[in-house]
Amino acid sequence: MRWNKLILLTILALTASCVERFIPETTGYNKVLFIECLLSNDTAIRPVVHVSLTAPVVSQAGGKLTYVPEKVSGASVRIECDDNTVAYFPQFGAGNYRASTDFKAETGKSYKLIIQIDDKTYESDYQKLNQAPPMDSISCRHVLQKRSEDGLIIDGLRFYASTQSSEPGPSFYRWTLDATFRYQAPFLSTHLWDGRYIKPATNILLRDCWKSKNISGIYIGNTRGLSENRIQEAPLNFESQYGNELTIRYSLNVKQYNISESAMDFWENVTKLVNETGTLYETQPFRIEGNIKCTSDPSIYVAGIFEVAGVSTLRIFVNRPTSFTIFPLECFLQQVGTRDFPWYRLPAESFVTEQSPNVYMTANQACYDCQQRGGTLEKPPFWIEQIASE
Amino acid sequence: MKKAIAITCFLILLNFGLDAQEKPVTAKLNLKEVPFTEFAAKVLDCCDIRIYYKPEWIVSVRITAEGDNIDINELLNKTLNPLGINFYYRGNGQFFLTGSAQISTSSAVKPDNMAVSGKDTANLNPRQDYFKRITYEKTIKNVVIGIRGKSQESRQCYLSGRITNRSNGEPVAGASVSVTGTANGVISDSEGSYSLPLQSGRNFKITASCLGMDPQLFAIDMNSSGVLNIELDSKLIDVREVTVTSDRFQNVRGMQMGFQSITAKDMKSIPMVMGERDIFKVANLMPGVQTVGEGSAGFNVRGSASDQNLFLINEIPVLNTGHLFGFFSAFNPDMVNGLNLYKSNFPVEYGGRLASIFDISTRKGNKKDFGARGSLSPITGSLLLETPIVKDKVSLMFSARSTYSDWILNKLKDAELNKRQGSFYDLMTGVHILGKDGSSLQVFGYYSKDKFSLSGTNQYRYSNLGGSMIYDRRLGDKWTMKAAGVVSNYSNFQANNELASKSFEHEFRVRSQELKIKFIGYPIVRHKIGLGGNVILHNLDQGILNSAGGQSLFSPIDFGKESGLEYAVHASDEFSVTENFTIYGGLRYSFFNYLGANDIRIYPDNVAFETKNIIDTVSYGFGKTIKTYSGPEYRVSLNYQINKDLSLKASYNKMRQYLFMLSNTIAISPTDRWKLVDPYIAPPVADQFSLGTYKNFNNSSIETSAEVYYKSVKNIIEYKDRADLTFSPDVETLVLQGDQKAWGVEFLVKKNSGRLTGWISYTWSRSMITVNGLEPWRKINNGITYPANYDKPHALNVVASLKISRRVSLSSTIVYNTGRPITYPTGFIYVGGVPVINYSLRNEYRIPDYFRTDLALTIEGNLRKKKFAHGSWVVSVYNLTGRKNAYSIYFVQENLDIKGYKLSIYGVPIFTISYQFKLGNYAVE
């Protein structure tokens, strides 16, 4: 047995190599112009052109690398359409340039971004706005995943996008996600401490909340090299068993952008840089290049992405999963009015629960008032409660 | 008793002059056509004349003699000479038959099975006692070579033969045979053959020596060219040799530059990783040999890419030499006899790679006794068996090594670890046949297999399979010939199931068939001439990327097949201008035909090679030449020996390469395919100049060398940023060709004898790449020169081995080198709300420097001479200081943060205990 253990240790040393945080010593920094714009036929979004300089790598205590993008103001920004119309994007805050309210990108037309900064001109190609096909489905499955912070293997739900197009392929998609979930404050109150007295009060109207969050990350898929112009379960986000997200009901809203091949190349490269490093067999990292070039001086390097895309949307709802345990944000009850925790130390307007006669317990107020976890008591208009067939 | 006689006979032979002036030995005989055995018995009976012979020599000999005073000498001469059987008279009524050799010497007589024509041997015992007191070193054997010519004038002749190890009959490579006190000497080749030019004359003092073996001295009378086969004995007291060159004279005297010879013993002299002895780990401690990272397969020799090394095991090219991601070498260490590493001054018979030749030879097998050895380490178990089939002539050996990691991983309950699998094994087998005429035939087979999977979603397999047949023989007394037929096959397989709808699998195969022949001779005084050629047929199946599993939507991508014929002729001359000055000049002319059947994509002029720009494809039929490349490869070197212990050498080499590895990863990956040069990718060509000085101190126990080199490579193959080798079959759309310049200086100090042995090597080198074509799309890094991935300017290695007692020794290594270049982030951009790092120009920065020290303690079993088996324990610590050496630095986006990480392969000290055993005692080789 001991021999076995020795062997095991060696194998572990062999297969589980060691990774630790590392901050490189000051590295050089080249200020590079970065331009980003998403133009879609989603009328709810006013297109914005972001112009910035790449942020320097600054090392900081705690091992974080911080980034402070430097906004670029004073640029002249316009978008040309192949129907010979031009839309000017006036500046709106530092580094942001926004279209006027009457500007609408239309399906079937091609657009081109032109930016002038000082005496330099930066241009994209013409990008055609293609209608996005409706998504087939969004599915989810129970998966295990290693948590990056501590390497712990955790349960959770991984969401997947499936879509197909009747157009001939290949098709290129990018998905942006936002989620809304319902959660509950766990404790029921009997009283409220107003700072001097306790008076009977219930928190029943403050317990149920809905909270929305943007899910950042790059979610892309394409049908290049496939026999059908169909995407089967391209992975989207992961929601872990920790936190309030999956406690009651969760809704994922996916916007599907039908982007161009050059935009896809950009995103694939970005993904490669973000995800595919740190392996035994890594390739050379590289400078990102997008579909925007400096036309007045081709030797100037610029990173930029101009996406013109049709959009379609799909929302799904998921109930609390039963195949694994969910750990909501923790709430602990603590007795109040004791020598260790006298009443005067309890902030005013705190809910308390009378557990047994004259024994009052309290907790973090977020455990009574769900709004303190960032949610709202108002049910969103799109929210559909569980229907019988679910 | 028989053995005692044999030893006695042998010792007698060693010690007595051959020209004993005695009265003729006569006997009264009356024989008619009697068998030789009967004749021998008769003369022993009647006149106490002893004739020693091997029964097989005299099977057909009939003796007819009548008379009272028959001169036995004359009778034997008359009878045996026409049959080509030689003999000599030692005096005291003793005749020794020496078989077909035109000489009379120790080695021609096989004492073990020499029949003695007599029954009573008791009277030999006093002599036996006497000779036992004489040590081998002091023994000088007098040998007469050839038949004395009539003319007395001095003639050029050659002393040639084979050097073998007396204990097991294996040829001894790299032994030196030299005329004592002069610079005249030669080194035996891998088959143990040597050929030493000499003027005819008397009383040459010849020394045959090899490290770890007792030297033998001969006093030679050269009448004409002849054969002297020499058997050397292993040193009885092993002084734990740590040597790099196999012979002390080579450092200063040999023509080699940028050459290292590593023996099986060297493998023992360095601490092991995970209890695995590994000849490549020793090579890696030599100057000019580096790896991109710990545990990665492949070497970067003198600033060159890892696919520019040719690995040969008994002439079989091996394309993937690593087991388990490259952590271990794919050759069972028990089987490996030695490694010759050429970094420059390549012998003319080698070609096909730019940077180096790793020529590995295996043991040939014990021709005297059955032998077995093996080892157990935490990772693997191995066993080697060797046995004579025909004693002294034919040996058979077999070795197997396998890991049992899978078995352990399967026993684990941890789900994450359970999904990981890794297993490997390798098999080798060989038959070695020594012919009567001094020829030898070696048949060898090799197979290695690896498979592993990471987290259940990716599976990898690769295997090497090869066979070789090597025949060498002497042609007359001035020429030797070596011919070989080789087949090899390498395949790898990967399956990727990360995404069910995009699951795929891909298998790649490369097969090579090679015939080569080489002649070496001494037709003119002071010239060693080499002639030869080789032809290789390469068949590559780049495979089809297929969808895997029912859900995959992948449409198959055919990567195609390709064939090529690589052939070369070569000639060389090593000319000893004076005793101190030698010139080697060689010309190899190599050709490559890219053969059909194949489809060649056509691009319009002045347009980037991109899949979207293909305007046509042209199909070529089977066997049709699509494109031809050819060119000369010059090999020139000079050696000027200033004195016995100091020399200057210079060399110039040109190399061409027609087969390269498709790899854009920094370390070699198991999925890397190989590719032939084709109409769009021209063969890389390297020119290397080197200059060196070599000095020995303290009677050659300390060797030093300093070499400078400059290498310039044209058409080096580099990969465009973001090149995707997995899904793109059109290789010309992924690669660009440029120039590489590498230069450096290498220092080596070695101590070969004493209780403390070892070496210190230091290298300073650079390797820079420029890809700056005319059109913008033919540039990498904007055409700016950048350091190669494996450019590590400073490298220091210290290896020391201390013999504490005869059973206990301690060894240690210290390794330091500059971190490899890396492309670092220079800025962040915020894309779609996600911070993304943007990178610098290629390889602008470096990962932290590498430092490691290892320690090993070897405890041998008892030193009793008579024992069934000998075992030894090795306790080793790898990375004693536990330094977390960076393998790579990378940056990950996590929860909107960018975090920098350092990956180390061995971040802790690793203790291992391994056990090795062999049949026989401590001294068994």
Per-residue pLDDT tens for B415-463? 555 556 778 899 999 999 988 877 899 999 999 999 887 666 788 899 9
- The whole-number average pLDDT for the span B137-143 is 59
Q: Is the peptide bond before A380 cis (omega within 30 degrees of 0)?
A: no
Task: Tell me whether residues B553 and A305 touch, CB distance under 8 A.
Answer: no
pLDDT higher than 80, residue A284: no
Q: How confident is the model at residue B9 (pLDDT cuts 50, 70, 90)?
A: very low
Tell me how far apart the alpha carbons of residues B704 and B695 are, in angstroms, rounded to a whole number.
Answer: 5
| pLDDT value of residue B894 | 67
| pLDDT value of residue B99 | 61
Task: Tell me whether residues A18 and B908 touch, CB distance under 8 A.
Answer: yes
CA B864 to chain centroid, in Å, comes to 33
- The whole-number average pLDDT for the span B530-557 is 90
Taking alpha carbons only, the member of A280, A150, A9, A16 closest to residue B907 is A16
Q: Is the pTM of this model over 0.90?
A: no
Neighbouring-strand partners of residue B227: B160
pLDDT higher than 60, residue A349: yes
Partners of A21 on chain B (C-beta within 8 Å) are 899-902
- The whole-number average pLDDT for the span B682-697 is 94
Decide the pairing of beta strands B356-362 and B336-342: antiparallel
The letter for the amino acid at B599 is D
| pLDDT value of residue A61 | 46
The helix (H) or strand (E) run that includes residue B37 is helix B36-47
Taking alpha carbons only, the member of B389, B391, B393, B265 closest to residue B333 is B265
Taking alpha carbons only, the member of B347, B355, B345, B348 closest to residue B637 is B345
Taking alpha carbons only, the member of B762, B718, B719, B714 closest to residue B742 is B714
Decide the pairing of beta strands B309-313 and B300-301: unpaired
| pLDDT value of residue B15 | 35
> Cβ of B207: how many Cβ atoms within 10 Å?
16
Cα dihedral sign, B135-B140-B146-B147: negative
Per-residue pLDDT tens for A227-248? 889 998 899 999 999 999 999 9
Contact (CB, 8 A) for A34 and A52: yes
| pLDDT value of residue B5 | 38
- Structural tokens at position B59: 């099977």
pLDDT higher than 60, residue A50: yes
Per-position DSSP letters for A150-182, written without gaps between them = T--EEEEEEEEEEEE-SS-S--EEEEEEEEEEE
B415 interface with A at CB cutoff 8 Å: yes
Residue B132 φ then ψ, to 5°: -60, -25
Tell me how far apart the alpha carbons of residues B805 and B808 are, in angstroms, rounded to a whole number.
Answer: 5
- The whole-number average pLDDT for the span B53-82 is 78
First to last CA, chain B: 25
Neighbouring-strand partners of residue B161: B194
CB pairs under 8 A between A and B: 246
Q: How confident is the model at residue B862 (pLDDT cuts 50, 70, 90)?
A: confident
| pLDDT value of residue B395 | 93
Q: Closest residue of A to B296, CA-based? A: A280
B550 interface with A at CB cutoff 8 Å: no
Q: How confident is the model at residue A17 (pLDDT cuts 50, 70, 90)?
A: low
CA B522 to chain centroid, in Å, comes to 25
Which of A286-290, B202-206, B881-885 shows the lowest per-residue confidence on average (mean pLDDT)?
A: B202-206
| pLDDT value of residue B147 | 66
**SS3 assignment for B266-285:** HHHHCCCECCECCHHHHHCC
Q: Closest residue of A to B908, CA-based? A: A13
What percentage of chain B exceeds 70 in pLDDT? 86
Taking alpha carbons only, the member of B499, B417, B404 closest to residue B458 is B499
Contact (CB, 8 A) for B50 and B87: no
Contact (CB, 8 A) for B537 and B565: yes
| pLDDT value of residue B135 | 36
Contact (CB, 8 A) for B822 and B788: no
Question: Of B57 and B415, which is predicted with more confidence?
Answer: B57
Per-residue pLDDT tens for B222-233? 777 777 888 888
The ipTM (two decimal places) reads 0.73
pLDDT higher than 90, residue B500: no
Length of chain A counted residue by residue: 390
The helix (H) or strand (E) run that includes residue A342 is none
| pLDDT value of residue A371 | 92
| pLDDT value of residue A300 | 84
Contact (CB, 8 A) for A377 and A208: yes
| pLDDT value of residue B753 | 81
Per-residue pLDDT tens for B810-820? 999 999 999 88
Distance from CA of A124 to the nearest CA of B (A): 17
Tell me how far apart the alpha carbons of residues B244 and B758 are, in angstroms, rounded to a whole number.
Answer: 9
Spatial strand order of the sheet with A135-146 comes to A135-146, A153-164, A230-240
Which of A60-64, A273-277, B905-909 shows the lowest per-residue confidence on average (mean pLDDT)?
A: A60-64
For testing the chain A interface, which of B558, B829, B896 should be mutated: the one with the most A CBs within 10 Å?
Answer: B829
Q: How confident is the model at residue B155 (pLDDT cuts 50, 70, 90)?
A: confident
Question: Of B437 and B897, which is predicted with more confidence?
Answer: B437
For testing the chain A interface, which of B831, B889, B895 should be mutated: the one with the most A CBs within 10 Å?
Answer: B831
Distance from CA of B647 to the nearest CA of A (A): 44
The helix (H) or strand (E) run that includes residue A262 is helix A261-275
Per-residue pLDDT tens for A298-340? 888 888 899 999 999 999 999 999 999 999 888 888 898 888 8
- The whole-number average pLDDT for the span A346-373 is 90
| pLDDT value of residue A340 | 86
Instruction: Please name each of the domains of chain B with its CATH number.
Output: 1-134 (3.55.50.30), 138-236 (2.60.40.1120), 250-342 (no CATH), 356-919 (2.40.170.20)
pLDDT higher than 50, residue B4: no
- Structural tokens at position B357: 């030749």
Contact (CB, 8 A) for A256 and A135: yes
pLDDT higher than 90, residue B636: yes
Tell me how far apart the alpha carbons of residues B71 and B60 are, in angstroms, rounded to a whole number.
Answer: 22
| pLDDT value of residue B92 | 75
Contact (CB, 8 A) for B771 and B780: yes
| pLDDT value of residue B237 | 43
Contact (CB, 8 A) for A231 and A303: no
| Residue of A27, A146, A273 lying closest to B826 (CB–CB) | A27
pLDDT higher than 60, residue B242: no
- The whole-number average pLDDT for the span B900-915 is 82
Tell me how far apart the alpha carbons of residues B296 and B302 are, in angstroms, rounded to a whole number.
Answer: 17
Tell me how far apart the alpha carbons of residues B74 and B87 are, in angstroms, rounded to a whole number.
Answer: 11
| pLDDT value of residue A42 | 85
pLDDT higher than 60, residue B116: no
Q: Closest residue of B to A285, CA-based? A: B823
Partners of B324 on chain A (C-beta within 8 Å) are 14
Mean pLDDT of chain A: 85
Mean pLDDT of chain B: 82
Tokens 């001294």 sit at which residue?
B923
Per-residue pLDDT tens for A95-109? 899 988 888 888 999
| pLDDT value of residue B417 | 52
Per-residue pLDDT tens for B712-722? 999 999 998 87
Contacts of residue B347, defined as CB under 8 A and 6 or more positions apart, other chains included, come to B530, B572, B586, B635
pLDDT higher than 70, residue B256: yes
Buried/exposed B501-529: b ≥16 CB within 10 Å, e otherwise: bbbbbbbbbbbbebebbbbbbbeeeeebb
pLDDT higher than 80, residue B708: yes
pLDDT higher than 90, residue B20: no
Task: Tell me whether residues B906 and A13 touch, CB distance under 8 A.
Answer: yes
pLDDT higher than 50, residue A373: yes
Partners of A64 on chain B (C-beta within 8 Å) are 897-899
Task: Tell me whether residues A305 and B887 touch, CB distance under 8 A.
Answer: no
Q: Where are the alpha helices (DSSP H) in B72-187?
A: 72-80, 125-132
Tell me how far apart the alpha carbons of residues B642 and B747 are, in angstroms, rounded to a whole number.
Answer: 19
Taking alpha carbons only, the member of B883, B876, B889, B821 closest to residue B852 is B883
| Residue of B553, B666, B845 lying closest to A27 (CB–CB) | B845
Task: Tell me whether residues A228 and B832 touch, CB distance under 8 A.
Answer: no
Contact (CB, 8 A) for B306 and B326: no
Question: Of B476 and B119, which is predicted with more confidence?
Answer: B476
Q: How confident is the model at residue B21 (pLDDT cuts 50, 70, 90)?
A: very low
Angle ∠(B195,B197,B201) on CA atoms, nearest 5: 125
Q: Closest residue of B to A275, CA-based? A: B892
| pLDDT value of residue B897 | 67
Partners of A214 on chain B (C-beta within 8 Å) are 833
Buried/exposed B462-498: b ≥16 CB within 10 Å, e otherwise: bbbbbbbbbbbbbeebbbbbbbbbbbbbbbbbbbbbe
Distance from CA of A347 to the nearest CA of B (A): 33
Partners of B833 on chain A (C-beta within 8 Å) are 214, 216
Distance from CA of B756 to the nearest CA of A (A): 31
Burial class (CB in 10 A: 0-12, 13-18, 19+), B119: exposed
| pLDDT value of residue B80 | 78
Side-chain-side CA neighbours of B138 within 13 Å: the count stands at 5
Angle ∠(B167,B170,B175) on CA atoms, nearest 5: 95
Contacts of residue B119, defined as CB under 8 A and 6 or more positions apart, other chains included, come to none
> Which range is most confident: A138-152, B166-180, B447-461, B787-801?
B787-801
pLDDT higher than 70, residue B87: yes
Angle ∠(B562,B567,B573) on CA atoms, nearest 5: 155
B893 interface with A at CB cutoff 8 Å: yes
Question: Of B594 and B155, which is predicted with more confidence?
Answer: B594
| pLDDT value of residue B49 | 83
State whether residue B550 is helix, strand or coil: coil
Taking alpha carbons only, the member of B671, B187, B297, B278 closest to residue B460 is B671
What percentage of chain B exceeds 90 in pLDDT? 36
| pLDDT value of residue B123 | 40
Contact (CB, 8 A) for B320 and B490: yes
Question: For chain A, what are the domain ranges?
Answer: 30-130+260-308
Distance from CA of B883 to the nearest CA of A (A): 11
